[in-house]
Amino acid sequence: MAHDEHNRPRRSGAFFLIIFGALLFVISPSVLSDDPELGAVAIIGGFLIGGLGCYLHFVRGRRKA
């Protein structure tokens, strides 16, 4: 087909960033309970990584279309 390339899923790391950020956000409080500062940084980092993945996957993809 002439437009077969439009039907293929795009390979991007955005979905990986969403999953990694969610895992970091959920698991870090229990694993890093000994050091509250590092746990807080991990929670914020997980939130930011997941937010970046959501932006790359949903928002930026909608703007191009």
Intra-chain end-to-end CA distance of the chain, in Å: 21
Q: What percent of the chain has pLDDT over 90?
A: 43
Question: Is pLDDT of 21 > 60?
Answer: yes
Band (pLDDT 50/70/90 cuts) for residue 32 is confident
Contacts of 53 (CB under 8 A, 6+ apart): 13, 14, 15, 16, 17, 18, 19, 20, 21
Q: State the pTM of this model.
A: 0.72
**Residue 63's pLDDT is what?**
64
18 contacts 50 by C-beta, under 8 angstroms: yes
Q: Please state, in angstroms and rounded to a whole number, the distance separating the CA atoms of residues 21 and 44.
A: 9
